[in-house]
Structures are given as structure tokens and as C-alpha cells.
Structure 1
């Protein structure tokens, strides 16, 4: 008879209450109950706690809180945590409610005067591990990493990742058993732990690795060769020992509540009572669906819902089967505001609530031409208004009032009322693509802040999985089909601008926009916490909005005469190429006609590989022509490609850009789409200024037309080989990492190592081949693609790639790891935790599947580069201001930033910009490969790059 399988250890979850509280408080906009009590942190905490209870395999669970600021550590060192700011006033009344919430969910709320929560966590974790349990401490606090062991791990809910021994070593450079020694040396400015001056985490790790522990290091400090470091250690030895006492967590606190009391208990009606009392209607509806009617009957009858409606940010996912009295129907309760008193009432409500969904209607999508027509506001689900401000009369139809304009508040008076609200730092303004609204309002003298954007929240959650327009998200998350612009303004030639839309239709359309924005924000924002994506949103996407809006307002100066000359030159050269094409073909035809070109290539010249589409015409796209150029050796396909390139440059840039110059500013103002790519990159539209070729002479000529104002100069700062550097980092290719650290010629080094040729006297063609492989590999290039690029046989290209993988096996491991991760998760991640979704990674269609596999390989690299330059852009205005520089950032072209700076400040501006870009990954992420930014200046963009 076989022995019974050993019993699986019980799992103990210990939640760091302080971490949960502050994440919840900063994640959600200000919310109040109908009695005025602030509850945003309570709601966020309840959401996170319920999710953990539902998702975890806990047999034991408790939340550990701090009982107060004074502990035994203040007796050791009076200045301990002395510089910690007081909690925000609106958070203080929520502390007791959060403890009440914990108990309402049948989870123990543990605290003990004189000890920090970390000491209680350490004590309970040690007890549980000693009893044979597995322990998960729900926190990312570095101070708790000293507890990590074979049976104790941390879990970071923001990043949805476990923190074990490997992650501790990644953070501190040593294992958990040495973390106390490291912190004793490095100190902690946030807790006012002094440590030893001049010693950071990296140096501390080197010293402890060398000498073994703090006591040995201090005893042998005289052996340290660096004079300053030796002096600091000898002079601050006692302070290091005091720091050790401060950072060492107590594992023997005489706790009063035994671990056995943490046994997990079912959620019951007490939770429902708590949620209804605090007016958390959507979360209550979610719990209702989970528990059933019987469990919550007492809550329904004992506490009537507030007549104010849905006064909360909803749970992480759209509610299904919600309690009817908790939810207002979209479209009901909308108000047309035509009187000053009514607008003032709405503004007062928004001030009281502390947040407002905000949307504008205008005459144009072009920010610099748009005239304000009206404003819509929402202060809770189902409660929205539209304030018409610029509607005009039109004889005979739409307004039903002849030529007279409808009744509305005078624009200047309305702006006087709205401006204090829209600029109030205590009221969160929620928009969908709010960058547009901010830019238009700025032209009217209103600086909208602080802000949240439901479009960008969706983008952070599911970038690449679907679109992020309001209509699509409303269908997806709210199950509601919105009114479309064409429904109210008409379509085609009969379409009117919004100032001609009748007020009843304008009200329904505009108020719905604000209502849906409010609901989307409430539905999606809590998911950022639950899914560990709040950091991406709060540190990258949200703070980038005003920076990009300012860049769009500034625009860039264009030399229209230079473009006109170029246009004439391109037209002349196109004519010459066209004559050559006709001579090669032996007949005249319309070069711009794909149908006629296909007949020439495949019927007349009998070139191989012709394929007809559904229309019966041959395919003649760029991929077909490029393949023909390689496989047939015929000169015609390349000539067509040359002609098409000039034609595109002429129509897209030299002809179109002069028409895009704003007559008021004399500059071109592109629009940067913030949620258009799957990797986090910005996209430029109307006009697109990111696709001007830089590697061709024609493209460089176009860049010469981008110029600086008199007395200024253009400054271009460009990351050098950033994606290749990140590939070396993320794939852990040590030879490439070392080469980057040493500033070596990376392509020559690769050629030498892969092809076995010396760097000295290397054939430039061999280096070119290595360069093509280096950059091609990170895009998942195939042997066929490399063969086309280098004009070599496919077999030779395949051999090159195999030799590359053999020399750098880490890159293949990385590629397989990313594909596997994507197949399991549906997305890949950047170094900063951004999710890049790759739908179709498991598609049955081999072509689509292969395409998405290549995307899965490149997206973490391109996405990380995008995160880094965004972080640089966010810091740049403050860095320039701090240095007293007047320059302004005009354009972002993937890895490049373009500035316009005073001529006298060009050197200092370049220094500051480079410093910001080269350190943009810090402190969020250490990268072992240096990031290098190259700077250049000139009177035009071509010379600056």
C-alpha cells in the first residue's frame, strides 16, 4: 500500500495595511459620501482586499496596520522618521473606516502600540514559517525583503510579481540574509536612517560581498584603499551600528492575537452592510452577484440607498446584474444649462464631489482652429449637463428658430465661472483624450489641471488589444452604444459643424460624452491597482499629457520657400525617372497606376511571381517590387520604387506642409496621438512629422526646411542604438553589454566575433552585414528578409543568422522566452511593466501568428525605449527651467527629441538635455548598459541631427 501524499502546507497571507492604504488613496480621485466623509481610500482598499480574498489560495489571512508614529526605534534614534510628512487631512478620517472595512470582510485587523507594522509582519511570518506554513507578505516594501526565505516571499500587487531571493539580489546585490548590513551602510532618507555618508546600495553591496558582514567591515575599515570611503566608515562606525538597530525588524514581538485567529472566514452580510453604508454601490452590486440575495438581505432593508445616485468609482470590471437602485441609466437625468445660476450650481457640486468629468464641443478637430461651442460636465453616473456657449442661428432648419441663436450663457461669463473649477488643484478633471480639451481651453486662458484620462487608462491596461476611442470602450465596458457625431451633425456634404447642431441633439450627445467618460473612469481606474499597472499610468502616461500638449501648441517653424523649391526639384526628377521607366519597359504607361504596372511587369516582361487579387489586377506593392528587385535582377522594379518614393515625399511633405502652416503662428502644429501604438510609442498626425526619412538624401533635404526662429537654433538629441543596448540588457548578452560599456564599435565587434575576422582592417561590407544582423535580429528578421536587405543568397543569410545565434545564444533564449510569455499571457512587458498586447499570437493562420511572434520579440525593446524617452520628456521642462534655460521641446521622433533654443544657450541646453535623457530610466530601473544620447545643433533640422 503506497504512502499518502504529504499534506500541502497552509498558505498564510499577511497584508501590509499601510501600503494598501496609500496606494488606494493616490489611485482614486477624491470621493465623498453624501454626508461629506471622504472615502476614496476606503473604496480602493475594499476593492483590493476583495480581489485578494477572491484570487488567492490563502488558508490564513490578516491585514497588519501601524498603530502610531512613535515606536521603540524613536528611543534608539530620536530623529527616526522625523521628516515624514503628516498624512493628508482628507486621508486621516479614512483610517478608522479602513480598519472597519477589513473586519467587515471577516479579515483580522492587527496593530500594536510601540511597534511598526513591519515588526508584526516579521513576527507573524517567522511564526508561520516555523510551523511549516508558506507565507506571502503582500507588499513591495524593500524593508521587508530581509524576511525573504525558502518559506517567506513578498508579493507586489502593483506589478503582479512575486519577490523571492532572486528579486532581492536584483534590488540589493546580496541575498536577504545580508539586506540588513546593506541598509545599515546605505541608510534610508525616507525613514531618516543615517547610514554612512557617501555609500549607496551599489557600494554597500560591493563592501559586504568583500568583507562578509557589517561588523567585519567596520573592524577592517583601515584596509579600505579609497581615502574618502575609509574615512567615512571609520568616522561613522557607530552610526552604522545604530542604523542596523533601526532597520532590523523584530521577529519576537509579544503579539496578543495568535496566528490561529487568522484562519480564513467566508464573507457574509457584514461586508454588504459596510458597502451600502458607505455608498459603494458598484462594489456592492459585485458582491451581490457573488453572495446572492439571501446573504445581503439585511443590508438591503437596513440602509436605504442615497438619492444622490452612484457616488463612487466602480469596481475593476463592469458590473453585471447590479442592484437597480444603485445605477442610473445612461441618457437619463441630463440637464441643458442656459442660465448662470444653473451653471454655478453645477460648479458648486463639482467642488463638493472633488472630481468632474469634463468634455468640450468645438467647430474643428484642429486644436489651433477650433472655436469653443459648449462644455459638458458629469459629477456622478447619470448626472450630466451640457452648457451651450457658441451655437449659432441658421435660417430655416436645424435650430428651429430661424436665424436667431438659441438662449445660452455669454462665453466670457461662463469662462469666468468655469475657470476656477477647471484650475482648482483640489478637483480632479476627468476627460477622454483630455489633451485636446486642455489645448483648446488653454487658448481661452484656462489651464485645466489636475487631470485624469480614461483613454490613457484603457491604453495602459490593454494597449494593442483594441482601440481606445470612447465609442469602442463604451460598448466593451458599459454595454452601451453611444450617439455618434454623424447622428447629430449629419454626414458627407450635408454635415454641419457642432455650432449648428440643435440644442436637444447637442444635449443628448455632449452630456452622454461626459457621463460615459465618468463611468469609464470609474470602471477602469481601479483596475490599474488590481493589475499592477498604476505606476506606468502615474509616472509616464498621465504626466506626459501637459508636456505633449505644450509641444503641440509651440509647433515648429517651416521654410515654405525651401519646400516649394524642393517640390519643383522632385517633380523634375520624377519626370526623368518616368522617362527611364518607359525606356526600360519599351512602352509608355501610367507609372502611378498599379493595374497598368502589373500588366507591364508580369504580362509583358514575364517577370516571375505575379499574383492577382480579387479585382483581377496584379499585386504591385513595395514588398512585391523589393522581392522582384532581388529575385529577377531586372532594373524596372527598383526604378518604380525610386519614383514612388519621390512621389510620396512630394505629396506628403513638400506639397502638403506649406498648406499646414498656421496663419496665426506661422508654424506647423502636429498632433501627437498618445494611445495609437501597441508599444507605447507616440504617433504624429495632421501632419505626420515622424516618417520623414533621415537615411536618404531626399529626406534630409526636407528636414532642411524645418528651421529656427531668428536668434535661435535647433537642437537635436538622439539616443544612440537604444534598442540594441536594451536587447543586450534584456537578453543578458554579456559580450555586447561589455562592448557598450567600453564604448566599442558594436557592429565591428559583432562582425569580428560572428564571422571570425579581425577588427583591424575590416572590410566595410562585413561590418555592414553585422550591422544589418544586429538591428534585424531585434525585429525578428528572417533569412529571406536579411537576404533582401544585403542582396545576398538566402542560404548565406540563413548561415549568418545561425552564426549569430551560436555566438550569442542569449538572444535566441530571449526570443523564445518572449514568444512563450506572449502565448501564455496574451501580452509582453517592458522593463517598466508596460503591457504590450499581441492579439493573434496563438492564431491558426501561420502568417498572422508569425507576425505577432515577431511583435512579441520586439515590443519589449521598442516599448522600453518608448517608456524611457517619455520619462525624459516629462522631466525636460523642469530641468530646463531649473537651469534657467529658455529653450522649448518641439518634436519627438521615436528616439529623438528636437528643441528650439536661444543661440547663446545651445551648449548648456545640449548638456542638460543629454543628462536628462541618459538618466531617464532612473530611479525606477537600473540598466547595466549605459544609455548614450548624441546632441547636435544647426539652423535647420538636417544640420542639427
Structure 2
């Protein structure tokens, strides 16, 4: 019997759009939804082709927003927002993707996709076919009144039948339209009857039979709001019934016979994937083409099976745990993950551990689950679990076994949680770091996104097992079956990603940066985060009070300049004050109709000294800076002091900055102003414990030194070798004299050129005309032609290859380098110019961090601890007795960190200071 599958394409599109980040292809076009849609459709079409039953398939799309229903009711779907701007250009590409699979892509003017699906369903049933609708849309469930129709919910990997409709709506599919008419639909703006929800609607239909019978019986019902609403809104209910009823009698746009499922075609799909640069999907096509066919070779194709959540094991006895540990030791690797009670690893309690040994061979070891009442009910039954201490002892032996590789995703988090239980995880691979070293700049590196991108798999969401809002529960309250499905999936997916990334590292020349730079960092940074740094609450409190006074004074000044009070933090109110009340020139409105008041706009106004807006713009910038510092640091830091350690534990991300630099959050230490008095005051609050000092070791002008080496600039190389002041040298070369003004300008130019600054950007920095700025850039390139050649070569390379590389082989991808939008393309070019230099700088300080602890330990300096990494600086807490011995070790490790992998032609200078606080150490 022919079996027709009808795919609700709109549902796939929006799922893909919201599941993946805003990706761009090699042409600079937005393709996040296109990529996700292609991967999802491929998975479905491939699975159906390999199965026994399906014979025909089509994707159904909405052609336009206006249909016959809008003619009946002009408010139908009136409240729906238009598609996002970056999604609109993806619709034609999604149609191309569908046709690349040789699948019919069907749409019809004046009909919704649901109506087209209904027409094909009725036509197929008339010929004795079976029909499966790939959707979970409630309107389409009306079609399941025929037993030959079911629905496939790919979101939850389940097949839906009439029983599901009864369970969810209280009636069978044949009466679902009546229930939907009474309920209405706020999303589609179907009016329904006010106050009637699913339970009331199903009760009424079950009691009276159908919608008309309910409305006829309404006058005789018990007096009350329900009766009144049914009488008053009877016509709306009848209209709603028409709106929710599917149109089944329109001519078919394509005959049923043309919907035959042919399998995954090679040529059109290959052309589509190559056009968009979808390398991962293209490699999958290569695997399919190269793999021996089952009929010929009698072996399965080399591809991971779909995740089978029912295959995962819940480990609750010692024999089972020992079995998993034995297999892990035998094969030499195991993927691991932890489930905890909180996001902060310094506060989180361990709830359970999951492990995976092969695809679908995964388990969950619960260690801290309680009854569903979470312990509030003394009679709540605690699920059966292993003795916590026994299990942790067994896991400690495995996780510390040098012969077994532990594989994790964002393993730093798990390491901190386990280290607090005296478990030191080693050796290890981290898939988040591997992904970053392979694909930095192409997409994010969270597990859900990587699973969708590389495995075409949609992971179970955390909220799906814990709930949301007021009904949310902790993971320790999740029942063991659901917990096992969620937790073991994480370990399973991590293992699958590792298998792919491990194979790609040598092929794509990423092994060097992974092994020599990034791989050691999760453990090193994990120890830094655990150490934390002490902050003086009194200093912070005093600063907060001072900032409060200054902010209030600034608000008074700003209100006086503006001619009256307004909310300074409101972009709308500020824009109206500046460009309407005060009449300042040059204001520009965005799509929302609100004037832009971003930092560039404020700096523009402040720079025009002849404008009446200069002073107010400058004061607004000061107000924003102080408000941000107060909220982000002097107030927030007091709340972030750990209750047990009395210290602040920032969290570092190894994938937060595209060029390879570390980024920090909670608190973000990278944004403390470096050269201002206010920034120094905040750093004064970071203090050493009694009997210790803070030691700050900072690379001096490392990016300029790397530029001298990488661009091969003899004058700069020689100047650094002599220890000259590089900014004075540049001032002499450009302006013929060195004084405070020319040196300051030279310093700005030295750094700005390396960031690919334009003539207009430099003009703004130096307060000169664009022509004068261009003259300075031309003179700079005449004096230092190596810099000009480096910029040209780097730009040319990234245009051709799509990425840049550091001296250690780190790739940073720039997908917008070929964008048709000029400002996007130019922005990518500017970022690409600096990426090899900034990335190499990041690589060097990471190597210094990885080597620091062994070097200090070798000298017996066990009390010296590395606490922070900020920009080009490392911050330590050193016992008074170790200061003199630690200083030369730290300086040597940092100065030679690039060696022997990279031998630089310029020396790396390190400036070291000490003091009772971070501020005093500078």
C-alpha cells in the first residue's frame, strides 16, 4: 500500500531558525535556518527512504500571508509579527534546499499549508493510501479521524494517533474542530468564546454532541458567565469553526504520482551544499557516496545510529557501576558529564554522573536524587541509588586513571565540581575546545548547537525535564527515567562529537594549536577559578557610595543642560531631548523610530566643541561609565563574594572571543578601565590575604612586538632589541620630532593601524581631517612598508581562504568577508587584519599559563598561586617569603612562552609589580 508523508515545512523552518544562531554562508548571506532545515530534512528523508513503508513524500509551505480566511475575517492572524528580517531572504534558499533533495516543494496562492496537506490527505485516502503528516500542529489533528492517517512529531520523536487527541483535548479528531472553535486561538487570532478553554470546550462538546448543539442549548444552561458568553459570542464561535476547518476540496497542485520518494540524490544536493559552503553536510554526502552499499557488501553504512534514549542505563548498584568502569578501562576512553544543583560550579552540589562508551552505550549514575517533593514531604520516597561515598570512590579511581582518556564538553565546569570532592580528572579531551580550534567564527560551540550542526540531532532541553517558571524543579527532583534520558544523552552526544572532531584535527591542521595551546587550559583555568581572589567589601562599599554621589551630581548637570528632567538611561527619552527638545543636528533614527544614542553617536556630539550638545553628550558618557562601573563592579562584586571562601570566583570562557582570547563573566574583569583613576580604584578592592602580596605580570606592547616579527619590520625589530621607546621612534619617523603630542599621536597610530583603521576612524581618534589622517597612514606605510605588505597579504589570504591563522596555527573564520553588504565586508576585513596578531598574543599567554604551575612547583614555590588573566596580564597571590624567588620564574616563563614551537625575532618584555592590592601592583 502506498504511504504518503506530508511535511509541514513552515514548522521545520521556524524550528531551524530558532534552534541555530544567525549563521552566514561563504557569500555573506544569512543561512542559519537554511542549514538547520537542510539537516533536519535530510535526516527525515534518509530515514524514510531506508524504512520499508514510505513510498511518497512532499514538503508543503505557505505561499503568502493572505488566504481565503482573511477575506472572511480581516483580523485572522492580524497579531502575528512579520518574519524576522534575517529570515526573509532564507525562504527562497529553503525552497532550493527542498528541491535539492528531489522532493516536491508545494505551495498555493490563497491556501495555507494546512489546507494543502488536507487536500493531499483526502486525495490519498480516496486511493486507499496511508498518510503520515510530519507535524504536531493541532489543526492538522482533525485529519486523523480516518484511521489510515497519523502524525509524526519529530520534535519529540513520537508518532501521534487519535488516542493522543483524546488525551490532549478530551474528544476524538472528528470533534476536534468544534473544540477548537469554542477555545479560539490567540496566536492565529481566532476569536472563539471568551472564558472557554480546552477542558470546558471538550466538556460541552461531549455533553451536547457538536458546536451547533452547544449553542442551541446555551439559553437553557445555568445562569452565569459561561451561558452569557455562549449566547453573546455564538456568531464568533460559528466564524471560528469556519476558520479552523481545513479546506479539503481544492485541486492538487501536483498529482500524487509525482510525489514518489527517490532517496537522497547526489548531484543537485552536492551543488546546493557546495554553493553555500556547508562543509559538514558535504562531508556526510561524501561518506554516503564512498560507503559500501549494504546489498553489495552486506555491511551497514558507517554512520552513527540515532540516539536511542530507551537504550540508556540507570546505574543503581555496585556490580553495574563496576561493569561500566571495567569496559572504560579496557577500551581506554569514556565520555563523562555531571548533573548538578546550580550553574555556578563553586556552589553546585553533585546530583549525578553520566558516562558513554559508544553511541547509544551510555548510562547515568544518580547520586543525589530525592523524591518528587524534594524532601519537603517526610513521606516522599527517595529513589534507589548507590551509596554516594562508595560510588565516588569508584569514579575517582576511573577519573584519575592515567590510562583512560576522559572526554567532556566544557569540561572545566565538571572539573571544578569534581575537584571540590577531591577528584582530579586527567587525562582529558574537551569537545568545546576542539570545536573552537576547528571552527572559530563559523558558529557557536554549545552542545545543543553542535549536535544540530554536526549530528542533525536535537538534544533534550533542560527545561523539558525540570519545567519552567514557578513549577520548575531542581534536577535532584527529576525522576530517574527522565534524568537518565537527559544526562546520558549529554555523554552520548559528547562522545559522538569527539569522534568527529578527533578525526578532523589533523586533516584541518588544528592539532598543533589544540595540543600546544588549548588542551591544557581547562584544568589550569579550573584551578584559577577555584582559588578566586579576595575583595575588600569596605573598599567596594565606599566606592559605591562615592559613585552614587557623582552619578546624582551628573544627573543634575545633565538635566540643567537639557532644560528639564528625563530618564537618562532611556535611549528614547535621551534621543528626544537631544534631537527634538535641544534641536541638535545629525540625529538618525533606527527601524523602531527611536533616535540612536549609542556610544558612537555620543562621541560624535561630544567631539563637536562648537555644538551646544558637546557638553551634555560628554556628561552622558561620564554618567554611563560611572553607572556601569557601579552596577557591574562596586555593587555586584559585594554580592559575588562566596559565602564559604570569602573570595570572588570569576568564570573564564575558552571560546568567548573569536581570536582565542579568554573572556570572563561573573564578574567580567576584562571591562575594568585600564588607564583611568576610577579603574585603578576598583582594582584596589582586589587584595591579597594576610602575609601575601598581589603580583601583576604584564606583557609590554606584545602586539606591537608580534607585528614587528610577523610583518618583518627591521626598524621595529631593532628598536625592540635595543629596548627603545617604540612610540617615540614612530613619532620621529612620522613627524620628525618627539614631544608629548607627537608621541601620543604615534601611539594611537601604532595600535590603530594594526586594527585596520580607516582614514575616517583615525581622523576621529586624532581630531584631524580625513585627508590629514590619510597622509599620516601613507607616511606610516612609507616608513614601515612591512606593515603595509602584511595588511595586504592578510587581507588577500582571508578573502581567498575565508580564515586567518596565528603563528601556532589557530584559525579564525570570517564568513562575512565575502558579504555583498559593504559595511559587513569592511568590518570583517578590519577584524581579520588584527586577528593573527591578537590571536598569537592569546596563544602565547595561554602557553605561559599552562607552563607556570610546573615551573613554580619545580622551584618549590608551592604557595604562589595564579589567580587572574586579564588582557596581556597574569595576576598572582604570592606569600611574602616567596616574592623574590617567584618574580624571576614568572618573568622567564612568560618571556619564553612561545618557544620552542615559535622562535620570535623580537624579545617579549614582561613588567612585574607587587603590592597589597591589584591596583597597587601596577
Find the partner of 2:372 among 394, 417, 424.
Answer: 394
Find the partner of 2:439 among 445, 450, 462.
Answer: 462
Report deviation, 1:540.
1.3
Structure 2: how far apart are the matches of 1:286 and 1:356? 29
Per the alignment, residue 913 of structure 1 pairs with 890
Per the alignment, residue 685 of structure 1 pairs with 665
Alignment pair present for 1:787 and 2:767: no
Report deviation, 1:293.
4.4
Please tell me whether the aligned partners of residues 399 and 503 of structure 1 are also in contact (alpha carbons under 8 angstroms): no
Per the alignment, residue 355 of structure 1 pairs with 333
The change in CA–CA distance for 1:861 and 1:406 in structure 2 (over 3 A counts) is same
Please tell me whether the aligned partners of residues 395 and 403 of structure 1 are also in contact (alpha carbons under 8 angstroms): yes
Please tell me whether the aligned partners of residues 285 and 323 of structure 1 are also in contact (alpha carbons under 8 angstroms): no
Per the alignment, residue 181 of structure 2 pairs with none
Per the alignment, residue 808 of structure 1 pairs with 784
Report deviation, 1:329.
4.0
Report deviation, 1:402.
6.7
Per the alignment, residue 595 of structure 1 pairs with 572
**Structural mapping, 1:92-103, within 5 Å:** none
What do the CA deviations read for 1:819-843 (whole angstroms, capped 9, x no partner)? 1111111110001111011120111
Alignment TM-score, normalising by the size of structure 2: 0.67
Please tell me whether the aligned partners of residues 399 and 500 of structure 1 are also in contact (alpha carbons under 8 angstroms): no
Structure 1: how far apart are the matches of 2:904 and 2:306? 49
The change in CA–CA distance for 1:538 and 1:356 in structure 2 (over 3 A counts) is same
Per the alignment, residue 536 of structure 2 pairs with 559
Alignment pair present for 1:825 and 2:801: yes
Report deviation, 1:883.
1.2
The change in CA–CA distance for 1:604 and 1:559 in structure 2 (over 3 A counts) is same
Per the alignment, residue 925 of structure 1 pairs with 902
The change in CA–CA distance for 1:330 and 1:843 in structure 2 (over 3 A counts) is farther
Structure 2: how far apart are the matches of 1:763 and 1:931? 26
Alignment pair present for 1:643 and 2:623: yes
Report deviation, 1:518.
0.6
Report deviation, 1:793.
3.0
Structure 1: how far apart are the matches of 2:527 and 2:756? 36
**Structural mapping, 1:157-306, within 5 Å:** 289-291=288-290, 293=292, 300=298
Report deviation, 1:290.
4.1
Per the alignment, residue 345 of structure 1 pairs with 323
What do the CA deviations read for 1:626-676 (whole angstroms, capped 9, x no partner)? 111123642111110001100000000000001000010010001111112
Alignment pair present for 1:718 and 2:698: yes
Please tell me whether the aligned partners of residues 291 and 302 of structure 2 are also in contact (alpha carbons under 8 angstroms): no
Please tell me whether the aligned partners of residues 876 and 913 of structure 1 are also in contact (alpha carbons under 8 angstroms): yes
Structure 1: how far apart are the matches of 2:329 and 2:787? 54
Per the alignment, residue 573 of structure 1 pairs with 550
The change in CA–CA distance for 1:291 and 1:904 in structure 2 (over 3 A counts) is closer
Structure 2: how far apart are the matches of 1:293 and 1:742? 64
Per the alignment, residue 158 of structure 1 pairs with none
Per the alignment, residue 739 of structure 2 pairs with 763
Alignment pair present for 1:373 and 2:351: yes
The change in CA–CA distance for 1:299 and 1:684 in structure 2 (over 3 A counts) is same
Which SS does the other structure have where 1:875 is aligned?
A: helix
Alignment pair present for 1:742 and 2:722: yes
Structure 1: how far apart are the matches of 2:889 and 2:683? 24
Alignment pair present for 1:450 and 2:411: no
The change in CA–CA distance for 1:400 and 1:323 in structure 2 (over 3 A counts) is farther
Structure 1: how far apart are the matches of 2:502 and 2:352? 27
Report deviation, 1:439.
0.7
Please tell me whether the aligned partners of residues 598 and 620 of structure 1 are also in contact (alpha carbons under 8 angstroms): yes
Which SS does the other structure have where 1:664 is aligned?
A: coil
Report deviation, 1:491.
2.0
Please tell me whether the aligned partners of residues 879 and 916 of structure 1 are also in contact (alpha carbons under 8 angstroms): yes
Which SS does the other structure have where 2:755 is aligned?
A: coil
Structure 2: how far apart are the matches of 1:925 and 1:812? 23
Structure 2: how far apart are the matches of 1:345 and 1:904? 50
Structure 2: how far apart are the matches of 1:465 and 1:292? 28
The change in CA–CA distance for 1:333 and 1:722 in structure 2 (over 3 A counts) is same
Report deviation, 1:401.
12
Report deviation, 1:498.
0.9
Find the partner of 1:871 among 834, 841, 847.
Answer: 847
Structure 2: how far apart are the matches of 1:402 and 1:815? 71
Alignment pair present for 1:630 and 2:630: no
Structure 2: how far apart are the matches of 1:613 and 1:400? 55
Please tell me whether the aligned partners of residues 373 and 477 of structure 2 are also in contact (alpha carbons under 8 angstroms): no
Which SS does the other structure have where 2:698 is aligned?
A: strand
Please tell me whether the aligned partners of residues 803 and 814 of structure 2 are also in contact (alpha carbons under 8 angstroms): yes
Per the alignment, residue 813 of structure 2 pairs with 837
Report deviation, 1:399.
13
Per the alignment, residue 675 of structure 2 pairs with 695
Please tell me whether the aligned partners of residues 699 and 908 of structure 2 are also in contact (alpha carbons under 8 angstroms): yes
Report deviation, 1:287.
8.8
What do the CA deviations read for 1:747-795 (whole angstroms, capped 9, x no partner)? 11101111222xxxx3201110010000111111222222222233333
Per the alignment, residue 708 of structure 1 pairs with 688
Which SS does the other structure have where 2:298 is aligned?
A: helix
Structure 2: how far apart are the matches of 1:748 and 1:292? 64
Structure 2: how far apart are the matches of 1:293 and 1:799? 64
Instruction: Between 626-635 and 930-939, report the one with greater CA deviation.
Output: 626-635
Report deviation, 1:522.
0.5
Alignment TM-score, normalising by the size of structure 1: 0.65
Structure 2: how far apart are the matches of 1:394 and 1:479? 33
Report deviation, 1:289.
3.6
Alignment pair present for 1:490 and 2:467: yes
Alignment pair present for 1:850 and 2:848: no
Per the alignment, residue 164 of structure 2 pairs with none
Please tell me whether the aligned partners of residues 451 and 497 of structure 2 are also in contact (alpha carbons under 8 angstroms): yes
Alpha-carbon RMSD: 2.2
Please tell me whether the aligned partners of residues 399 and 502 of structure 1 are also in contact (alpha carbons under 8 angstroms): no
Report deviation, 1:478.
0.8
Report deviation, 1:344.
1.4
Alignment pair present for 1:777 and 2:753: yes
Find the partner of 1:861 among 817, 837, 840.
Answer: 837
Structure 2: how far apart are the matches of 1:831 and 1:859? 11
Per the alignment, residue 48 of structure 2 pairs with none
Report deviation, 1:336.
1.1
The change in CA–CA distance for 1:775 and 1:287 in structure 2 (over 3 A counts) is closer
Please tell me whether the aligned partners of residues 393 and 399 of structure 1 are also in contact (alpha carbons under 8 angstroms): no
Which SS does the other structure have where 1:656 is aligned?
A: helix
Per the alignment, residue 188 of structure 1 pairs with none
**Structural mapping, 1:17-96, within 5 Å:** none
Structure 1: how far apart are the matches of 2:800 and 2:326? 49
Report deviation, 1:590.
1.8
Structure 1: tracts of 5 or more residues without a match = 1-283, 306-321
Structure 1: how far apart are the matches of 2:376 and 2:408? 28
Per the alignment, residue 225 of structure 1 pairs with none
The change in CA–CA distance for 1:524 and 1:750 in structure 2 (over 3 A counts) is same
Which SS does the other structure have where 2:876 is aligned?
A: strand
Please tell me whether the aligned partners of residues 307 and 489 of structure 2 are also in contact (alpha carbons under 8 angstroms): no
Structure 2: how far apart are the matches of 1:517 and 1:535? 22
What do the CA deviations read for 1:116-139 (whole angstroms, capped 9, x no partner)? xxxxxxxxxxxxxxxxxxxxxxxx
Please tell me whether the aligned partners of residues 394 and 402 of structure 1 are also in contact (alpha carbons under 8 angstroms): no
